Amino acid sequence: MAYQIKKPGRTMGDQSYVVEATKGLGITFKRLFTNVFSKPENKKIATIRYPDEVRDYPERFRGVHRLTHRSDGSPRCVACLCCSTACPAQCIYIEAAEYEPGDPRAGYERYPKVFVIDELRCIFCGYCVEACPCDAIRMDTGAHVPASWDREHFIFDKETLMSIPGRDGTYVTENPRHEPGDPTHPGIDREHSH
């Protein structure tokens, strides 16, 4: 035996939504008059006067990308292409190069000859940061991409990415690695690991 639920009865006022629309407009105009005609300390405005005022971003805000530095000033990136592979927007382009003979990193590590991020295509998902095995790329700048009318201003090359500091004002990473050639390196490399 099936039970049938009766449709609730509605008046013409309920079906026209005039009452609810009037209530919504009342709230809108109340806020408008409160913000326009009251003293500044009584206003309930949620907007800010950008760029004169800047909102404080949370610690985990994914801002503009940056490349971290080693102690000698070179990029930490080893051109493994993990970040460009993980990027769903395919906005990262890397050309790898080998170190010159005589460099302590020659023979087992590469560096990015070209490293470019198209910030207009980026969706700021943070996958590149998560995929990087050596913490070379970060999004901890605490700033968003600056406004511009030119597309060229949104194509960040290696030099631009290395010139952007982190939120703390430094260019280093929070997760240091002991690289060959660094004083803190334990002296183990591919030739001396066995």
d(CA 92, CA 136): 14
| Residue 177: closest CA among 133, 142, 143, 141 | 133
From its phi and psi, is residue 107 left (phi > 0), alpha (psi between -120 and 50) or beta?
left
User: pLDDT band at residue 124, thresholds of 50, 70 and 90?
Assistant: very high
Calculate mean pLDDT across residues 81-110: 91
Quick one: CATH architecture of 66-162? Answer: 2-Layer Sandwich (3.30)
Closest alpha carbon to 97 in 111, 78, 115, 87: 111
* The model's pTM: 0.68
Residue 119 pLDDT > 60: yes
Cα-based distances in Å from 19 to 11, 26, 27, 31: 12, 11, 13, 19
Tell me the C-alpha distance between 162 and 116, whole Å: 11
Q: Which of 132-136, 159-163, 180-184 has the highest mean pLDDT?
A: 159-163
